[in-house]
Amino acid sequence: MWCASALSQSIWTNPITDANPSAFNPFTIGDIVDPNITVSGIGRGSGIGANAGSNRYNANGWDTGTLDANAYFEFTLTPSPGCTIDFTSFVYTGQASGSGPSNFAFRSSLDGFTANIGTPTAGGTTISLAAAAYQGVGSAITFRLYGWGASASTGTWSINDFTFNGTINCGGCGGLDTEPTDEVTDDGPIPACTSGEINWTIGTDAEKVIVVFSTSPITWTPTDATDYNYGDTPTAGVTVIYDGTGGNVGVSGLNQGTTYYYAIYEYNGTVSNCEENFLVGGITGSFTTLTGCTQSYIQSINYNACSAAEGTDEIIFVQIGDSDVNVDEIVIDLPNSIWCNNGCGSNIILNNQAHLDDLNALAGCVPDLFVYCDPIPAGSSLMIFTGNPPSYVVDYSANCTGQQYCAIFLDNADITGNYSNTSTSAKTTTIDFGNGDVSSATYVPADGLCNCDGASANFDENGNLIEYVQNTSCVYPLAINIRSLTGHNENQHNVIEWKTSGDNTAILFEVESSSTGEFWNVIAEINAERAMNFSNSYFVIDENVEGSFTYYRLALYDANGNKTHSNIISVERESISTYYQNGKLTIGFAEMPNHAYTVNIYDLRGSLIYSAPAHNNMTIPWIEKGMFIIEIPEKNTRQKLITQ
């Protein structure tokens, strides 16, 4: 494999032998090029025109009185990655007609085509490129040969042949490795709720693969002799998530019910930015993350501690979702500090068994109420104590229901509060659970009930503030909590759905509705599931819907006789009409939908089988038979569709 030569030699030459070379711009036929550079061919600027002539690159239009920045012949040379060019000279022969140009200049892109190089002539010459500026050139360089002063616009000048002399130095790079011939095999992705796994089998004659990932279909392809590493973004919206010899890669931090795209390219070559030779094509694929999954989220923040030691006595209450959580993968970002076991210095997360023993002894529950967990099991409840140790032991004896709570501690002895009790500025806590789940919760202290011990803010699983409360006697609430409250319109009825945590202390839910959001009526009573289940789901159908909007909230009654209200939601009534005939489905709307609306169609297994932007009286080719669900997600609207 050619690499470098100690002797100056031709690195690009063209004898220009063709019936009419000027018919091409650029002209590349007959280029003889060193394998470690690429070239443009000889071209011409926009200020001159092609002029027929055999065995020469001929042009007219040289009749300006001074140098015209657009009247030139042009040559571009680009070294391969890892290589540089040491130029020696540019040699050419040419000829001009009697009315052709009489003045000439040779310049380069290194200074923006400003300084003249050598003394070119109409008939040709040798121009030295031995100056330091033309040594060790590691990126594309363009040379232009200008002409002007012709006595007529029809006057011509041509380049009959040319040669660039020099050496190419590749620093030990032997050029591209052999391209693989056996394509990588896609073994199929495995989607999860907020993550996915991509699997493949590498070709028999390939050494490595790169995997790229995007939220849009991937059309980008890799460039030979280029090293792509994890985290690189070779083009907008495309990220390298793997570079190696293995057969799978996991990606996390995804959104539920979202389609993601990937591409896998295999290559040979181990010398970085030199030998990489990618198999043209590669394979592309996609997967859609699951829906209906429960994610870990911040449920409550006790931001006003029940002591003067604010920094060590604040508490964060968390509900863990469908996946286990490893303590070493958690990152807790408080308003004034970050805590984790990898990369946070001395701000680590740990166990304080002595404090847990004191809590359990005072509570007297069987089994123990609090345990240190690692990993933290899916579906469990987690208390994060912000001090090690907290300054006092709270009496939780009223919470002996048989349920256990996981607990972890921040290794913090600073009594300066992590939160504010009175500020008018928003305070945000974000927890990355390391399994793809990330939860953020924001409150404004001045909006709370009071500047009082036990002041807390409660949130739903989407990070929405539900309410501000004060925990009586600073006993942190371990009872029922709302994970989420949602509603949608379906077949002219409103469906209200909610999920809860810790239902073992709940007695009853009342579903309340209002047309104004001020005056409320109870439309349903639902008994709570009292089983030891960390997460339960409920729904109610309101068949008496009037007006365009209806407001809903829940009243919650626990085993201790306490009543609390949930946040308020609104549901908009929307009319969808459907008409199916001769393999076509037409969907109409009571009002022209906004361009941001989407039409989704699901089968009875919940699989998304069609999705497109909505427009009025849209017609869809449809050959599927059976019952389906049409959804407008932006409007929380669903309707049944039956085709036969």
The larger pLDDT score, comparing residue 475 to residue 32, is at 32
DSSP structural state of residue 417:
-
Lowest mean pLDDT among 376-380, 577-581, 618-622: 577-581
Lowest mean pLDDT among 197-201, 289-293, 313-317, 528-532: 528-532
14's tokens:
């063209």
HSE of 24, CA atoms in CB hemisphere, 13 A: 18
126's tokens:
């040798």
Task: Give 105-118 pLDDT, tens digit per residue.
Answer: 999 999 999 999 99
Lowest mean pLDDT among 150-159, 468-477, 491-500: 468-477
- Exposed (0-12), middle (13-18) or buried (19+): which is 500, by Cβ within 10 Å? buried
Q: Angle CA(523)–CA(526)–CA(529) in degrees, nearest 5?
A: 165
With b for 16 or more beta-carbon neighbours within 10 A and e for fewer, the 440-472 pattern comes to ebbbebeebeeeebbbbbbbbbebeebbbbbbe
Q: Do the beta carbons of residue 326 and residue 375 sit within 8 Å?
A: yes
Average pLDDT, the chain: 85
Q: What is the pLDDT of residue 497?
A: 87
Task: Give 386-436 pLDDT, tens digit per residue.
Answer: 999 999 888 888 777 777 889 999 999 998 878 888 888 889 999 999 877
Q: What is the pLDDT of residue 435?
A: 76
